[in-house]
Amino acid sequence: MRYIEPTRVKVLMMMFFATGAVGVLIGLSGITPPNLKIMITLMSIINIGLGAFHIHLSDSNSRRTWCKKEKEKEKIRLISHFKFLELKYK
């Protein structure tokens, strides 16, 4: 999956959680017709699940960039160490 900007992921996450919460409140309130209560509530739960998925995306994006930086540092450290050993035992 490609990289998504963290601000965009956070905006989507807040949008899904807000619409999910409002949908659950409306779905379980008395103003909703009886035949639509279950559908509105289930759609709201799906929105909350999508918000949780965007939290996962946000976490994996930050972890992935952190891992890349750590791998680059480790690669540089190993190369410099091997150069040192090469010079030492020449």
Q: Rounded CA gap, 20 and 26, in Å? A: 10
The predicted-structure confidence for 51-82, as pLDDT tens digits, reads as follows 888 888 777 766 555 566 666 777 777 677 66
The predicted-structure confidence for 18-41, as pLDDT tens digits, reads as follows 999 999 999 999 888 989 999 999
Give the pTM: 0.61
Structure tokens at 19: 């619409």
Q: Rounded CA gap, 24 and 21, in Å? A: 5
User: Who contacts 57 (Cβ-Cβ below 8 Å, separation ≥6)?
Assistant: 1, 4, 9
- Residue 7 confidence (pLDDT) above 90: no
| Confidence bin at 86 (pLDDT 50/70/90) | low
How large is the angle between the packed helices 6-28 and 37-88, nearest 10 degrees?
A: 160
